[in-house]
Each structure stands twice: as C-alpha cells, then as structure tokens.
Structure 1
Amino acid sequence: MRRLAAFAVAVFFTLTSLVAAQDTPQPDYTAWEKLASQAEQILQSGQANDARLEAIRAEVVKWRDQFRAAEGTNATRISTLKDQINALGPPPAEGQTESDDLATRRKSLNSQLSELQAPGLTAVEAFGRADGVVQQIDKTQRERQATALQRLAPTPLNPKNWAPALQEGYQVVAGISNEVMTRFQTQGGWQGARDWAPSVAIILLIAVLLLSKGRRWIDSLPSRLSARASERTRAALDFAVSLGQILVPLIGVILLVAALIVTNLFDQWGLPILFALPGAGLALFGAIWISRRLFPAQPGALPISLPLPEKPRAQARINGSFLGVALALHQVFGSAILPLSSFSGKTSADERIPLQITDASAAVWHLPIICLGAYFLFRFSSVLRHLPRYDSSENPPYRLRIGAIIGSAGRLVALVAPVLAAIGFVAGANALLWPMIMTMALIGLLILLQDFIADLYAMAKGGDKSARDGLVPVLVGFALVLASAPLFVLIWGARTAELSEFWSKMKQGVAFGGVRISPTGIFAFVAIFLIGYSITRAIQGAFRSTILPKTKIDAGGQNAIVSGLGYVGVILALMLAVTSAGVDLTSLALFASALSVGIGFGLQNIVSNFVSGIILLIERPITVGDWIEVGGKQGIVKRISVRSTHIQTFDRTEVIVPNSDFVSQSVTNWTRNNLSGRIIVPVGVAYGTDTRKVARVLAEIAEDQPTVLITPPPSVVFKGFGTDAMNFEIRAIVSDINGGTGVVSEINHQIAARFAQEGIELPFPQRDIWLRNPEALGTAPELEAKAAPESGDAQEVRDEAPQAPDATPAGTDHDDGAAGENAGYGERFERD
C-alpha cells in the first residue's frame, strides 16, 4: 500500500513537471496583423457605427489577453539562465580578458537567453499595439457620445413642429396596428390562433392576477408576518417579504410580454415596445417600493430610515412613486421609439424602428415627459432639502447631509433639464434628468440595504438593538457602498467596456515607490494576514487553555509564553501577507530607512514601551497576578500588553502604566518569589502597665493566627515611650501577604478583647494647659458686659471699670510685672 502511494506521488510530480515544462501556446501573429490593420483602417475612416466598433473592440481585447499571457513565455527558464549568467561573474571590463571556457560559456548562455526572450518581447510589442487600438476605439466613442449630448435639435416650443410630431406618432401607432393585423391574417386568422390561444390565455390570466391581486396580497403580507414574528426577527423578515412587492408584479409584466411574443403578432414596430416593458415595470415597481420603505405611512409598522414628520413623509412617498411613473414612461417611449434617447451613442435610431423620426418630432415628444419627471423631481427634492431640520439621534448624521446635498442637486437638475429641452438640447436634458432620478433611487436602495444588514446583525446578536450601531454593520455597509460605485458610473453614461478596461488596468497595479500595488495584491495581503492572525489566535487559545495548564509553569510564565506566541505569529503573518501581495521587501529599504528616522524622533516613546514590554516578558520582573507598587500606585497586574501594563488597584480602578516605567523606575513587587510577607501591628498601652505582661499577651495573640508562620516566629518589640503611651509592635510573617490586611484587623480585634480581660488600659492623649494671670478673665458679669453691644450704658461701665492686664499664654514674653505672681496657677484638661 505504501509503495502504491509512493508511485502515485511520483507520477503526479512527473506529470506536473511535464506540464510546467511545456511552452505557452503562441498567438497567431499573422491573423492578428490582419485584424489590427483592418481595425486601424476602420478607425481612420470614421464610418463605422457604434455596434461595429464594439464588436471590433471585443475581438481586440481577446487578442490583448492572449498577448498578456504570452509575455510570461519561458519565464522560468529565463530566470534560471539569468542566475547562471550572474554566477559567471560580471563581464570583463574594456581592455580585460577572461578565459576561453568562461567566455564561451557566457556567450552560449546569452545566446540562449536572447532566443528565449524573443517570444515574450514579440508578445509585449503586440500587446502595446492592441492596447492602442482599444484606447483609440474608446476615445472615438467618447467623442461621439459628447457630440450627441451637445446636439441641438429644433425647439419643441415652435408650433410648426407639433403637427409633424403628431403625424409621426400616429404613424407609429398605425404601424403597430397594421403589423398585428397583417401577421394575424398571415397566420390563418382565428383558425390559426387556436394553436397558441390556450397557452397565451393561461399566461395572460396569470399575469393579470399577479398585476391586480398579487401586489395587494404582498402589501398585506409583511404586516401579517410581522405580527406573528418575534421582536428580534420582525424587521429583517419584513424587509425580505416586502421584496415581493417588486418581484410579483414584475413577474406579471414579464409573463404579459412573453404571452404577447408567443402570439408572433409583433415584429419591427411592436417588439421594441414589448422589450422595453420589463425595464419600465422594474422602474415603476422599484420606485414605489423604495418610496414606501424610506417613507412609510405607518411609522410603527416599519422602521423610518430618514427622519421626516408625517406630512413631508407622505409628500416624499407620493412624489417618489410618481418619479417611477415618469421613468417608466421614459423607458417605453424614450428608449423604444424616440431616437433622441439613443443619442448617447449606443444605438442608432434607424436600427430600432422602420420609421425614421425627425429630431424635431422627437424633441416634441420628449418635452412633456421631461417636464413631468422634472416636476416630481423638484417636489421630491424639496422635501429632502429639509432633512437636517428633522435630525434624529437614531439615524447616522451622514444620511442627513447626503439627503440635503442630493435634494439641492435634484432641485437644480429639475430646473435646468426642462429649459435645456425647450431650447433644443433634448439629449442633454435626458442625460441629466433621468440619471439624477436613478441616482436617488440607488442611494435610497443602499440606505435600505444598510438597515437590513444592521437588522440581520442585531438578529444574530439575539435581538440586541444596540448591535445595529456596531462596527460590523458599518463595515459591511461601507463595502456595499464601494461595490455600488460601478453602478453610479453606469447610470451617468459610462459603458461596461470602459469599466472592464478600468478594472483591467487596476489588476495590473499602480507603481508606487518601486512597489506595484493592485487590488488583487491588496486582497491577498488582507486575506493572508487575517488567516495568519486567526491561526495565531487559535494557537494562543490552545496553549492558554489546554497545553500550559498541564505544565508546572506559573501563571506569569504562561502569560509570557502566550504573549510571545502572539508577537511572533503577527510578525510572521505580516511578512507572509506582504510577500504574497507581490511586494519585494528589498524595494522597501529606502522607505524603512526614512521610517527609522521618524521612529527615532517622533515614535521613540512608543518604541521604548514596545521594547520594554518585550523585556518584561523575557526577564519577568513582574507577572500577571503580582501585587506591585510603581509610581505611587499599588495593585494587581492584570495584563501585560505591547505598549502598557494594566494594573487593578484595590479600589477596583484600572491603571494603565507604560512599560518603560517598569524598566526606568523602581518597582516594588510584594509577591515576586512567594506570597509570604511581613505585617506590623502597632499598639500602645497606658503608663504604669506591666510591659512584660503586655509583651506576653501580644505574642500569644500573634501565634494564634492561622496564617502567621511559626518559622520565623512572630516577635513583639517594645518601641519606647511616647507622649501619651508606651509603644509596642507585633511583627509577624504571614503565608499570603494578599490577606495581610485581614490578619491585621483580626489581631486588633483580639487585642481589644484580651486587654479588656487582662485589665490592660489603652491610653488616651493628655494635655496640661497653664494660664498666666487668670484674674484677667474677670467674673462672669464683667465678661458679659464686655461681650455686649457698644451701647451708651455699656460704654460708661467699660470706662469706669479698672484696666486689667492681658492674659498671655505660657511661653510668651510680657512686660507686666504681675506675670510672675500668677505663674503657679494652672488648670488640667483631658481629651478623649
């Protein structure tokens, strides 16, 4: 079995090497030369229409892709030959010689290299020519499109153009009617209609039901489901079900068109109108759906995406729906019949219908549709302009700003477009008005999709409404906006070929400082880095929860190992991501040098903290769970990160200390090697107490504590004589210093109880106060007379009273001779 597996592996690698050794198939350069010459002649003549140019461009793009693939022909062998030539050393300088064998070998390798490089160089040359043809075609079509938009038709306000316009319109209707009648008679009349009448009748019946009854049923379905759904799923379910308000009637329109096409009664006159109906139906039903979702009639049933009071909300809903009606009319009449709608350069009018409608008649028919769309656009934009007045904290502020900006732009377009159409610039008016309406519709759709994504995320989070404002919905919504950028470009007249060309250029990348950056490279960088980061986190989790707990490494060491794995994993993931993106690290040497200078000046604190964090993880002076003191702060180490260390103080506050402080400052680690530590309990006793008895009682109390170590034993120290008491200290070593405060508290409780039992008196502060000249205080009546207000009687008493000497505190200088006589008098005060 093992031999069979080994044989299979050998065969696989052999086939792989054979396939890799095969040369890339070379393009047929003869056929390419013929096509390129024809394309260049057609472009030079300028006679080809847009359809012909698009066909030529598509063919040239295919050839260009082949040439791009052929540029890498013999790439592996060329790289090998270059390495062999470099191994020979630099070629001899002028006037110097090298050995014959070396010179012969160098010449042979250079000859092989030139031969192998020839197909790639030919492909590069052909690629440049093909790319030039494509760019010339794009330039020609852009010029035609600009010319068509600037085309001035006869003014539709001239009454002379109205009668021909009505006549040509009647000819279109008559042409459709005659076409249907002629083909009906050709197919055998009612007799021949029996073959398709039953199937057409069934399809028409289903279409009519979907258009008439289906929408009404779908309109009531969200409210019925919302009543039965839970709170967490109601918003998302309501949005998903409401999409049926577009799909159901649109399916009805498609079935209606299919039924009419099955009859085979329509041809050149009627088919353009039939083909335009699905697009018109999508515009109509989509506009109604977006208007109802953005501006609901019942705010309690649907979440309001844009804050508006009831009356402006109703106006926006109605005018938005009528914008869909105007856009649908433009789709039917403008795109299917009237030639001015095709002045963007995509299709010529004579290829669409048999009747060549004049520009004057087309302008007459376009003007009322443009005026209708402009009227409802102006009313709708007027409501949007006032969105900032109705600000709401539940809505992102950027929506209000975008709504106000798009409202102001819409009002301007609504005023300019009818004026342009009245002058005669009908194509320019169409190119300005309808893209503006579709831009508003797309912005509204993006808002609804962002809310739907937020509802889905909130539902995934268990119905937490605060999750709607989380980071994930915001990022997904931002990605959605970026993905919709090509749609905005297409709306405003860009061709899909131009978008594909832009994407092709982007895939080749943009050179920046010797590094080529491309979307695929960026995607590869992000994907590889996220994968590497995820693997790193998984390995960290496995070590933290499974491997390290089974070892004898302490908690701090385990944290250091896990953090080190994280650093190494992130660095490796970053390096792999950079190399997978196609970035040559050697090309970043200059950038790295400049960055190092910036680090030296502006980022030195960050680098210092980062290096200090690595030192902490390697030397481990502190670890997670240690009780430390640094910078006057005490607490338990909770986490050591790249830049800082998180300490939780004993009052449950979080202190973030830069790692450099642990390297540059002194740090006290109370639990560095073990948890044991010394506690000191001071206590004082009253004078006259038996000191030996006090020492014996305190020693017994300390020895009775369960966490106090016997080796070394606790000691009682008689510190000395204080002002009010004789001071003692209990000094003991506890097994866990983290519980030292509790031990001190328990010792104090037992000291109070034992001293009461033993009759040992706790001291209290005592003060002796001596007064000089106490007779100066006088009697109580005299003191009251002195404290009374300065009335006339009191003034007389004070004047008649004998002057007494001032009372002076002891220890102060006084010139009164009676001070010595009263020096022996004093009074003692005691304070508890």
Structure 2
Amino acid sequence: MSQPLRMVFTGLCLTFWLMVGAAFAQEEPAQPADRWNNVATRAETVVQDATTSDTVLETLRARVVDFRAVFDSERNANAARIATLREQIAALGDPPEGENAEPEASALAQTRADLNQQLNALLAPVQIAEREYLRADGLVRQIDQILRTRQAEKLLTTTPSPLNPEHWVPALRDLTDAFGAMLIDRGSLSSAQKFAALRENLPLVFFATVVGLLLLLRGRPWAMMMVSGLRRHQARGIGIWRFVVSLLRIILPLCGLFLLATAARQSGYLGVRGTEVIRLLPFMGVMVFGFRWVSERVFSRDDDEALLLLDQTQRRRARFYVNGITVVMIVSIITNQILEFELPGAATTAVIAFPFAVLISFALFRIGQILRGYQDAEEEAQDPDDPQRSSTLARVVRSFGLGAMAIGISAPLLFAFGYQDLADAILRPFVVTLVILGLVMALQRFAADVYGAITGQGIAAREALMPVFFGMILLTLATPVLALVWGARLTDLSELWATFSNGFSIGDTRISPTNLLTFAVIFAVGFLLTRLLQGALRSNVLPKTQIDIGGQNALLSGLGYVGIFLAALAAITGAGIDLSSLAIVAGALSVGIGFGLQNIVSNFVSGIILLIERPISEGDWIEVGGKTGYVRDISVRSTRIETFDRTDVIVPNADLVSGTVTNYTRGNTVGRVIISVGVAYGTDTKRVDKILREIAEDQPMVLANPAPNVLFMNFGADALEFEIRAFLRDVNWMMSVKSDINHAIAKRFAEEEIEVPFAQRDIWLRNPESLKGKTDT
C-alpha cells in the first residue's frame, strides 16, 4: 500500500472510531429498561452488518453481558418469598368445583385471592427478567459465533508467499528504513534536552543501572553458591531448596533486567520508538529466563533432578534447542515491533517473519526427535516384547514428540504457501504449550518434594498418590491458560465459567457447582461424625456392655449404614436438590434393578437380615457350601470366611440366608468331639471301656457335666469298635483335643498290652496247579 493510500485509510478508520465513540457517548435514558432496549436494539442491528469491526462487537458484547448479569440476579429475586406463597396457596387446597359443590368460606376465598395477587406481583418482574435474560444470552452467543467465524476465516486467509523473489528487495528496504527511523527518532531531541532529562533522573538511573547490572551478572552465581552451601550442610528437603534456588536464578537476573529497562527509559536518550521497544524488555526477560528455567528443570544436568530422564547428550541438545527457540522468538518480537511503526505491507511481514519461522520449526523438529525416543526407567526394565510396557508418561512424551515433528515440518510449508496466520497459530502456541506443560511438571515435582519433607518420605514421596493429585490440580489450572494460548478469547472462558456456574437442570431442579460443593461438605461432615461415633462406641462404650463381639460388630456396621444414609439425606436437603422430579426415573431404575441386578439386591437385603437377625456373627465357626472356617467380615453384599488353610472364601449373603449353614459356636463355644478306636477280638471290653473313660476324664478341655461317655459301637470286620463322646469347653480346640486323646490312647494301650488291629486279608487261589504249570514252561 502506498503512503497516500495508507494515510487516507488511517483517516477513514479514525473517523469511524470517532463516530462510534460519539454514538456510545450520547446521553442515555435514565430508565434501565430503556437503556437496555437501546443497547439490545443496537446490538441486534450491528450483528446483521458484516462490516462491523471486532472491536465494536467486543464493546457491545461487554455491555450486553453486564445487562445479562443484572437480569440473572433479578430472575432469582424474592425466590424464598415466592416459594412461601406457593406453599401457602397449596396448603389452602383447591377451590370447590362443580354445581353441587359446597361454596367456599368467604374468608378462605379472600385469603386465596390475596395470596395469588401477591404471587402474581412478585412473579411479574421475575418473568420479565427471564425474558430479557434469554434475549441478552442469545445476543452474546450470536456475537461469539460471529467472532469465532471471523477468527477461523482469518486462519485460512492467504498472504503473499515469502518465497517470491519480487518481495525480497522491498522487504529488505522496509526493514532498513524502520531501523533508520529509530535512529532518526533518537536524534530528534537536542543534546541539551537529553542532558537535562538525564540530570533530573540521574539518581534513579544510576541506582537502577548499578543494581540491575549487579543482579544480572551476579544473580545466577549467588544462587549457585546457596545450593553449594545447602549441600555442605545437608539441609533437609534438598529438592525443595534446589527448586527455590533455581527460581532465584531467574528472579534475580529478571529484576536486574527490569531495573536496566527502567534506567534506559528514564535516561531520555532512546526516543519515542526506542522507549516503546525497551518497554518489551521485561516481557522478553520473562520469556528468556522462563523458557530457560523450564528447560533446565525438565532436562536438568543432574540425573536425580531431571523430569525426563534422557541421557546427558540428549538433555544438553534439548536445552540448546530450547535456548535457540527463545533467542529467535525474542529477535522476531523486536523486529516486528520496529516494523510496526512503519505499517509494513503483507508481503514485507511475510518475508521478514519466514526465516524466524523456519529456525523455530527446525529447533522444534529436533526437540520432537529427542522426545520421540523417550523411555522411562520402568519401561527400560520391562520386557521389550510386552505391549503394555510403555508407561503413561512415556506415551504422552512420545506423542508430543511426534506432534512437534509434524508441526516442525508443516508450519514452514504452510508459511511458504501463504498461510502465515495458520502457521503462526500452530507453531508458536505449540512451543508455549510445551513450556507450560514443563512448568506443570516442575511444580508437581516441587509439590512432591514438599510432601516428602512433611511426611518424612523424602524422594520416595515422588511416587506417592498425593503428588499425582497435586499434578492433576495443576494441569486443571493450566487448562485455561492453554486455551488462551491456542486462540481462545477471555470472553470465551468467562462465558464457559458462567455456564458452569449456572449448573445443569435435572427435571425442575437446577444443580450448580455451589450445590455440589454444599453437598460434598455436608456429606463429608456427616461421614466424619459417623466414623467418630463408631470409634467412640467401639473403644469406650461397647466393651463395657455385655454384648458379644459379633453383636458389637453388627451394631457398629448398622450404625455406619444408617449414618451414611442420613448424611446423604442431609446433604441433599442442605444443597437444595429436589429429587421429587426424578420419581419416574427412579421407578424405571427400580424396574431395571429388579430384573438386571436382582442378585445384587438379594445379597444386599440378605446382608441387612444377617446384621439384624444375626444367625452368624464375626468370629463364628461355620460351615456352608462345603467350606468351613471363621467369619471375618459381614458386608452388605457378601461375607468373608477365613478357612483353616488361611484362605479367604467370599460367600454371597443370599447363600447364608436361604441355604443350610452349620454354626459351631453360635451362642456358646461348647461342642462335642467324637473319637473312634478299635481293639482286637478277644480283648476285655469292660477294661477297654474303663481305660477310655479315664483318658477322656483326664483331658482339661472335657466338661465333667455332661460327663464323657464311652460306647461299644460295633463288632467290626477287623476290630471291636468303640467311641469316646465328650463335650468340650471350647469347640475351637476340637482338633487339638482329639490329637491329645489319640496320643493318650496309643500310650495306654501299649502299657496295657491291648492290640489295635489293622485290616488283614486272606487270598485264596482256585487253581494253583495251573500257575505252577506255566512257571515250569
């Protein structure tokens, strides 16, 4: 664009903005409703005009959003009073209807009429506010749609190709003229004026220069000295101190850079353009030191501090490429700022920006290659043929490496074909995204070190669950920043937050984040109180009662279920969640539960029956389904039985309620043991009876009343069969007592020379002569 045409265009734009400003500066009506009608009408007219600028749309949108907030608050005005009036009207009942209906009392009818009048008076402004809120909300969405459409169209707009040689010489001339204009601007002031400005601000300039240089040159060495001192003294939580010192390594030089920029601006020697450029110095310092700090944390020189444990060579290369990208971006920003003073054409902008884009893309491609080959320690230790060997971190890092390589190739190509805006929209945001994610990783590591120092776990805390939770929170907080980096507008985020704050509707009930937070807090308090009450009963109250252990456990379990139910009920009520509108859904769910989850429901109900009826209790010795063991836990769905082999058997509660269960210790631990023994034929049976009775009576676990009994059971095939039947004080000792009695029987029978026979069999051969004949042959 030539200089005259540029001047004409600038004048038209200035005139347009003056007209828009005058339109907005007109005296508005005093009534809010009239002001809103004017703004809404103006917005509805502007959105239909395709030539309206983005700035005008943003201004109108801001005003519409302000009115929408007012209408939103008015929608909920007098909500408590309206609810009270509706309850009062409902309490009066329906008026009598029909020809034969008794007439209603005049006082009651008058009361109903007064309440309805009050309700209608309160509902009128609420309904108007609801209508205008919907109107404002529709305008906001319409403006947002227009702005997003324009933003998408801009990305697909082509510019002159930077590879066209015809644009090179004009671009170089424009760049030279821009830098020359800076020198001319610097020389526009006389030496006397410069000296006067310097003399006036000399103390500030001198102090800022000296301190700035000192911090800039010595800030990093001072931070390194602090790390060395902490290492010598073996300070606790060295990872935390390393993080803090690493921050000082960028904060101190950054403060020095800010002081130098202040001194340069106050010196008066830079001129207008130079001052505008120097204002970018703090921002560029943040970029330089911030990018470098993140790279030194992610690709640290120390193996125990590196967030991505690559080898030393790869980490050194990664740091080099990150520093290269930073330098190129800084030079690009300065160059673009200087060119902006001359209002460069599209061809000049494309030619000047293309080399920077190529350099950034090359460095990004090389970083992508490094990340593409990343493997963590756990992955290297696993079987290479295992398809599940890759950890989540390794897969994410390799995915970003592949993305970096793809963007490193596609961005220069898009730029070369004229899609400069699209190339910038994917190249620089991706670089910033990598930096932000690296920052999240560094902060998560710092949180893990702090957690390890507090809990005493040290470095082992980095693998704990709590630091992972911290990382998820940090990543959630970084999501809006990433959205802004990738082109989202602040208004988009504010609109999303407003939608989230309004909540969602379930039937006639609207659930907002405030309701959810209230529900969570009340339920957490109720759950905590339930656990505290259970603990107090378990440790202080129940042990002093005559209730057995099984009854105590059943009482505590029932109290826990009731407490959780009451906590949920209180949380729902306190949060203001009306579940009456879900009655139909609950009915449908109950039918589905009845058919699809009947086994689970049956086990649940059976668990409640077990806790109330208590046919079995924790600690009982039972036999069910061929499994024998002790009851260790009764839950609402199943019961855990520990067998004598120390294995756990999970039995559904329905089997315990509807099946046959043998409980050896229900009510008391007395139980009977039966021991069988055989003696040889010809033995004196009375003598055997006496010996066995003496052995049984000598056992301390055998009860004297009822006394043990010895029975002569049978004339067996090989022996005379006897049985000892005795009741034990504790049936849990059955096997031990049985073993002791068998040892005693063996000893006494040996002393009394009583034979315990064993099975004998005689073999008869029908034709032994035939066997003999075969042997001879």
Change (3 A) 1:761 1:287: same
Q: Distance in 2 between matches of 1:413 and 1:545?
A: 64
Residue 612 of structure 1 and its aligned partner are, at CA, apart by: 0.6
Change (3 A) 1:596 1:132: closer
Residue 560 of structure 1 and its aligned partner are, at CA, apart by: 0.8
Would you say 1:444 and 2:438 are equivalent positions? yes
Residue 417 of structure 1 and its aligned partner are, at CA, apart by: 2.0
- Which residue is 1:316 aligned to? 318
- Which residue is 2:61 aligned to? 57
**CA deviation map 1:144-182 (0-9, x unaligned):** 434443443333334443344344434443444454555
User: Greater shift after overlay, 757-766 or 500-509?
Assistant: 757-766
Q: 1:209 aligns with which of 186, 210, 214?
A: 214
**CA deviation map 1:769-804 (0-9, x unaligned):** 44455566659xx95xx6xxxxxxxxxxx4xxxxxx
Residue 574 of structure 1 and its aligned partner are, at CA, apart by: 2.5
- Which residue is 1:696 aligned to? 690
Which structure has the larger Rg? 1
Change (3 A) 1:776 1:77: closer
**CA deviation map 1:546-581 (0-9, x unaligned):** 222222211111111111111112222223333445
Q: Specify the SS of the correspondent of 1:387.
A: coil
- Which residue is 1:722 aligned to? 716
Change (3 A) 1:501 1:275: farther
Q: Specify the SS of the correspondent of 1:269.
A: helix
Q: Is the 8 A contact 1:676 1:735 kept in 2?
A: yes
- Which residue is 1:302 aligned to? 305
Change (3 A) 1:457 1:728: farther
Change (3 A) 1:53 1:179: farther
Q: 1:197 aligns with which of 198, 202, 217?
A: 202
- Aligned pairs for 1:6-25 within 5 A: none
**CA deviation map 1:195-217 (0-9, x unaligned):** 43333333333333333332245
Q: Distance in 2 between matches of 1:775 and 1:94?
A: 119
**CA deviation map 1:427-449 (0-9, x unaligned):** 33222210111122223333444
- Which residue is 2:14 aligned to? none
Change (3 A) 1:389 1:546: closer
Q: 1:673 aligns with which of 656, 667, 670?
A: 667
**CA deviation map 1:739-768 (0-9, x unaligned):** 222222222222233333333333343333
Change (3 A) 1:188 1:314: closer
User: Greater shift after overlay, 218-227 or 719-728?
Assistant: 218-227
Q: 1:83 aligns with which of 73, 82, 87?
A: 87
Residue 672 of structure 1 and its aligned partner are, at CA, apart by: 0.3
Q: Distance in 2 between matches of 1:698 and 1:425?
A: 105
Q: 2:756 aligns with which of 762, 765, 768?
A: 762
Would you say 1:157 and 2:151 are equivalent positions? no
- Aligned pairs for 1:101-112 within 5 A: 101=106, 104-112=110-118
Change (3 A) 1:605 1:137: same
Question: What is the one-letter code of the residue matched to 1:363?
Answer: A
Q: Distance in 1 between matches of 2:189 and 2:139?
A: 45
CA RMSD after TM alignment: 3.4
Q: 1:363 aligns with which of 345, 350, 359?
A: 350
Identity among equivalent pairs (%): 44
Q: 1:491 aligns with which of 482, 485, 490?
A: 485
- Aligned pairs for 1:383-532 within 5 A: 383-387=370-374, 391-392=379-380, 397-457=391-451, 462-463=456-457, 468-512=462-506, 515-532=509-526
User: Greater shift after overlay, 290-299 or 728-737?
Assistant: 290-299
Q: Is the 8 A contact 1:287 1:323 kept in 2?
A: no
Q: Distance in 2 between matches of 1:275 and 1:520?
A: 43
User: Greater shift after overlay, 97-106 or 58-67?
Assistant: 97-106
- Aligned pairs for 1:323-342 within 5 A: 323-334=325-336, 336-339=337-340
- Which residue is 2:656 aligned to? 662
Q: Specify the SS of the correspondent of 2:761.
A: strand
Q: Specify the SS of the correspondent of 1:668.
A: strand
- Which residue is 2:11 aligned to? none
**CA deviation map 1:260-310 (0-9, x unaligned):** 3344555642344233333322332233233333333443x324x445445
**CA deviation map 1:484-514 (0-9, x unaligned):** 2212211111111110011101211233555
Q: Is the 8 A contact 2:187 2:271 kept in 1?
A: no
- Which residue is 1:4 aligned to? none
Q: Specify the SS of the correspondent of 1:749.
A: helix
Q: Distance in 2 between matches of 1:752 and 1:545?
A: 48
Question: What is the one-letter code of the residue matched to 1:359?
Answer: A
Q: Distance in 2 between matches of 1:717 and 1:725?
A: 14
**CA deviation map 1:232-281 (0-9, x unaligned):** 94545544543334433333333332333344555642344233333322
Q: Specify the SS of the correspondent of 2:411.
A: helix
Q: Distance in 1 between matches of 2:178 and 2:584?
A: 71
Change (3 A) 1:753 1:664: same
- Aligned pairs for 1:202-351 within 5 A: 202-218=207-223, 225=230, 229=234, 233-263=237-267, 268-299=272-303, 301-303=304-306, 305-306=307-308, 308-334=310-336, 336-339=337-340
Change (3 A) 1:85 1:525: closer
Q: Distance in 1 between matches of 2:441 and 2:554?
A: 47
Q: Distance in 2 between matches of 1:705 and 1:535?
A: 51
Q: Distance in 2 between matches of 1:676 and 1:296?
A: 71
Question: What is the one-letter code of the residue matched to 2:211?
Answer: I
Q: Is the 8 A contact 1:622 1:669 kept in 2?
A: yes
Q: Distance in 2 between matches of 1:100 and 1:692?
A: 102
Residue 226 of structure 1 and its aligned partner are, at CA, apart by: 5.8
Q: Is the 8 A contact 2:194 2:268 kept in 1?
A: no
Q: Distance in 1 between matches of 2:570 and 2:330?
A: 53
Query: What is the TM-score of this pair, normalised by structure 1?
Result: 0.80
- Aligned pairs for 1:636-647 within 5 A: 636-647=630-641
Q: Specify the SS of the correspondent of 1:730.
A: strand
Residue 38 of structure 1 and its aligned partner are, at CA, apart by: 5.3
Q: Distance in 2 between matches of 1:202 and 1:160?
A: 50
Q: Distance in 2 between matches of 1:184 and 1:585?
A: 79
User: Greater shift after overlay, 455-464 or 498-507?
Assistant: 455-464
Question: What is the one-letter code of the residue matched to 2:204?
Answer: S
Change (3 A) 1:328 1:669: farther
Q: Is the 8 A contact 1:279 1:328 kept in 2?
A: no
Q: Is the 8 A contact 1:290 1:441 kept in 2?
A: yes
Q: 2:604 aligns with which of 600, 605, 610?
A: 610
Q: Distance in 2 between matches of 1:449 and 1:338?
A: 38
Would you say 1:122 and 2:128 are equivalent positions? yes
Change (3 A) 1:733 1:104: closer
Q: Is the 8 A contact 2:158 2:419 kept in 1?
A: yes
- Which residue is 1:686 aligned to? 680
Question: What is the one-letter code of the residue matched to 1:215?
Answer: R
Question: What is the one-letter code of the residue matched to 1:385?
Answer: R
Q: Distance in 1 between matches of 2:763 and 2:158?
A: 114
Q: Distance in 2 between matches of 1:186 and 1:33?
A: 58
Query: What is the TM-score of this pair, normalised by structure 2?
Result: 0.86
Q: Specify the SS of the correspondent of 1:698.
A: helix
